[in-house]
Chain A
């Protein structure tokens, strides 16, 4: 056992209202620069939908993530030598048109335009070429178009659904969608790191945040193809790749990342997970249907004395272990088992987990023209408007059972609370649902607390980083001053 620390996240999709406040908080803080306009380190997608960049989930096209070939875990992109041979031209790189061409408007025309009969107008201008352009796509171009045959029908996750099921999704009465906010997953087995020829991308040992060294990055762009979530972006102005940094400057000063801090629906949770680094390779190489469970096994219980002993031996600070015990992520993922990683079949072991949305209310027009909800108040799994299969394709590598188990528990929670507050559900039904969901009233209360009532400090349990002290310990200032050696030595820089 080799205990490592990961700052990880849970997004509760039932609560996401698709307002894009997270995206804008991130954009304003980090990516409103030349070359980065098209980057959305945080974006919110409508599902079913094609995502951003378009069809990023289609790994036959982009070849991101890992695959198991002859029992060996290898990059889906290419062999190492093959990657170097493709270095002059990366055939798997999405082009700007797969994102969109960033633009602004000639706002100045409103003020400086000549006097004329008509109102002055402004024109869209490309932020790349500076020339006038036709806008053909933009971020969230398919926002809220869940039932659209143009956009949503192309969603790669629909491929294993039967023709009938797909047709249902387009019926007006059933038209359905939900929102999927995405940031970098800060994977435990990141394929962007593995694909980087320059060795510029790395995972921080102390907190597991994946970063791109801008000095080392040579702009070979293999990480963009290598990441199956397309969360590494190439800055065409600087020639370097950039990605979500999990707002580490904020985390290090005890603040929640900007996207989480600003989340209106309070869907986001952040906390520390301990995991066993010796098991990374074995876990990532498991067959598809075992991936979710294997990843849960890899995550360690901070209440287990054996784990705590090993964590101390591996240099995990005491207050980080303490923080791991309070982690909301640990409870969602490992204790209650109601949060799943996005596309575990990419085998990068993503450390951002999603509580799948229930999408419960099914209404229809009755013959008298009245709007009726179905007799089952919250509807049932069988009549779920989005097929379980679709959710399984997103969150459990196609294993329906994983999703069903979670839905039973979430559903039991709703009936249990309704019985408590409204009282129109009989206790026999509640007992039956609790048994089916293999849960207890106590557990449901806990889930309810953290889901609905939790305050800021319970949702974001940020471990103290004390990076300044950690640096002081290994970089001996005296030896820098006296024995800096020959050649080009960087002076240690402190402060601003």
Chain B
């Protein structure tokens, strides 16, 4: 039974939503919108429609983002304060939605209400399902606290497994029935998409933001070379044929242009976005610095090692330097060579027992703490370990310097 609700039903709902949705768009375009009743009844609609639409949009985004970026969500929610703020915001938005849908339902209830006159049976079903969905959502937020956090370890893996076509409902089958019902009714909403006014979600006219204000449509295409005007046709013995390949070539070129543009945008855009969202992690690798015996106890020497992901053509630029000191038979410490002020390479002065920065006179003690000058923080250190008589260093990304 659980398999039906959490594996079969979601796929059925999604398949129907996509197939029937497309069918309705292409063959019943006229119906592909939401039947507004604002003309008939306006005052109550304001209190219903505005809270509902703004509230549910934000809540939907909050549900979708952790599903798409679970790593980022985990990082954001790792902090107790942020979790509490998000949780409270969520509850507030949920209550905002409940208020909205309550107003939307009550305005259609009275027997002589004009809005009721344009309410179809499907509208009632949709309103009830949506009302259940937001009420159960608020209930979960109130009685099963920190949903923002446990969502990541229960629903998200399940939803991702559905998306990757390797369905696995193990993380949700053990949840209380109340929570499960919220998931199932969520898919009922998806199922209702193509059969109700909900289709208007996919008709939001973002194109309006950039299209020209005026729309002029010609029977003839003004881009085409001058068409023979009618009296000329009448006068000429044969109609002048229009070259069809002309039209097709232009269409093909337009489509090619869009395709190439789209690919280049993706090549540039996807890595940039991934970087901004913190999705790309630099791998950490242990690099050998040489035999332990080659370092003397108490001596500080400059060592260099390869980055974790050197490119074949980067040569010497793939190397990073560090100051390594052997403090005991098995104790090593490695300092970053970059000053914490603006990143100039610091020098070790053995006579003074100090690191000194040549750029702005920053001075660090032997243990890396700041002695004087502008640096705000002690020198960063790398983890070092001894393995099979070899000294190894972990290529960690260093904290960026202060500016």
Contact = CB atoms under 8 A, between A and B. Distances in A.
A198 B36 contact: no
Interface stretch (B24-32, B304-312, B351-359, B392-400): B24-32
A473 interface: yes
Nearest to B37: A236
B116 A129 contact: yes
A136 interface: no
B190 to A, nearest CB: 21
Given A130-B117, A198-B203, A219 B33 contact: yes
Interface stretch (A161-169, A186-194, A300-308, A332-340): A186-194
Contact of B29 (A197, A215, A238): A215
Interface string A90-109: 11011110000100000000
A239 B35 contact: yes
Interface string B224-256: 101111110100000000101001100000000
Interface of B: 26-27, 29-30, 32-42, 45-46, 49-50, 52-54, 111-114, 116-118, 200, 203-209, 211, 213-222, 224, 226-231, 233, 242, 244, 247-248
Contact of A89 (B45, B216, B244): B45
Nearest to A189: B214
Contacts of A87: 204
Considering the complex of A and B, which 5 residue pairs feature the smallest CB-CB distances, nearest first? A205-B218, A88-B53, A194-B213, A239-B35, A197-B205
Nearest to B213: A194
A319 interface: yes
Contacts of A205: 216-220, 222
A201 interface: yes
A474 B224 contact: yes
B27 to A, nearest CB: 7
A189 B35 CA distance: 29
A interface majority secondary structure: loop
Interface size class of A (residues with CB under 8 A): 35 or more
A360 to B, nearest CB: 41
B42 A315 contact: no
Interface stretch (A76-84, A350-358, A368-376, A412-420): A76-84
Nearest to B240: A473
Nearest to A203: B216
A467 B230 CA distance: 10
A128 interface: yes
Q: Which of B206, B230, B231 has the most CB of A within 10 A?
A: B230
A218 B117 contact: no
A309 interface: no
B115 to A, nearest CB: 10
Nearest to B28: A215
Contact of A129 (B45, B114, B208): B114
A476 B218 CA distance: 16
A17 B224 CA distance: 48
Contacts of B46: 89, 91
B295 to A, nearest CB: 63
B238 to A, nearest CB: 14
Contacts of B33: 217-219, 239-240
B217 A203 contact: yes
B35 A473 contact: no
Nearest to B228: A473
Interface string A477-491: 011000100001000
Nearest to A198: B205
B214 A197 contact: no
Interface string A193-215: 11011110111111000000011
A473 B227 contact: yes
A84 B208 CA distance: 8
Interface string A126-144: 0011110000000000000
A88 B49 contact: yes
A477 to B, nearest CB: 10
